[in-house]
Amino acid sequence: MGLRGDYSRAGADFRVEQDWGAYAPEEHALYRRLFERQSKLVPRYACPEWIEAIAGLDAAQEIPRFDLISKKLRTRTGWEIVPVPGLIPDEAFFTHLANRRFPVTVWLRKPEEFDYIVEPDVFHDFFGHVPLLFDRTYADHLHEYGKGGLKAMRLDAVKLLARLYWFTIEFGLMNTPQGVRAYGAGLLSSGGELAYCVEDARPRRLPFDLERVMCTEYQIDRYQETYFVIDSFEQLMRETAPDFTPIYARLRSSLVS
Ligand code: PHE
Ligand code: FE
């Protein structure tokens, strides 16, 4: 796949050392600029749960130390973050989630990728994903997702389940009293798509529908054409609680893919 991280030092579960002291001052400065740019957008476009959580993280000045963040997280929702070299195989990823460990990439993008990056880096993983791990319902949902991922592997249905992750955890929208807001990490960490997903007239914004999500293909290298909107993390939790086994079977027999 041509991933850019250094996988040579990774353990069997793909864990590496964060080696915080090895970040260059320019990297902390770039992280700070990314953080500042997004911080101007989130009051208008992010869901309230995310906004509340980031305030307690003190993560604006430099690339955060994962061990300190994990300490806070463990006491709040029992999650911790695990440093990894980048994207990791499905089984390792699902296993981490199923044990309330969220893998976070250690490296930061290059300055020329300020506006857009396809591969997740520490800014996307941290800024986009980690704050919501402080929300109890979201945190519990992601734990269930991890267990569901291991099950989907046994049922040869990872492709269907991955679409759920994509249209919720990465690119999900939520109805709030202030209007539609983003909770997906790919949106929260994006300079352009965060406003686009909420305000632009072009994309479809459909009410969350599990089976429709599982039947919807996505592109990883451009703004989404379709978003799915939940009413709350409780709704997401509730609608993903049923056993997916019969759903997988049905969708697989009705889809040509
Ligand atoms: N209910 C799903 C199953 O039976 C597991 C799951 C829960 C998947 C939450 C995703 C999110 O496979
Ligand atoms: Fe992500």
Which CATH number fits the domain that encloses residue 251?
Answer: 1.10.800.10
Convert the pLDDT of each residue in 94-137 to its tens digit. Answer: 999 999 999 999 999 999 999 888 899 999 999 999 999 999 99
124 is catalytic: yes
| Residue 90 counted as domain residue | yes
Tokens 């009410």, located at residue: 207
Convert the pLDDT of each residue in 182-204 to its tens digit. Answer: 999 999 999 999 999 999 999 99
Measured CA to CA, the distance from residue 15 to residue 149 in angstroms comes to 19
List the Cα angle 115/70/61 in 5-degree steps: 45
What is this structure's pTM?
0.95
| Residue 7 counted as domain residue | no
Count of domains forming the chain = 1
Measured CA to CA, the distance from residue 23 to residue 50 in angstroms comes to 26
Tokens 């978003």, located at residue: 227
| pLDDT score recorded for residue 116 | 85
Mean pLDDT of the chain: 95
Ligand in closest contact with the CA of 242: 1
| pLDDT score recorded for residue 118 | 80
The answer, yes or no, to whether any atom of ligand 1 lies below 6 A from the CB of 221, is no
| pLDDT score recorded for residue 2 | 75
Measured CA to CA, the distance from residue 132 to residue 42 in angstroms comes to 14
Is the pLDDT assigned to residue 88 strictly greater than 80? yes
**What phi-psi label fits residue 130: left (phi over 0), alpha (psi between -120 and 50 degrees) or beta?**
alpha
| Residue 79 counted as domain residue | yes
Domain coverage including residue 198 = 20-256
The answer, yes or no, to whether any atom of ligand 1 lies below 6 A from the CB of 129, is no
| pLDDT score recorded for residue 255 | 63
Measured CA to CA, the distance from residue 95 to residue 115 in angstroms comes to 31
| Residue 6 counted as domain residue | no
Ligand in closest contact with the CA of 241: 1
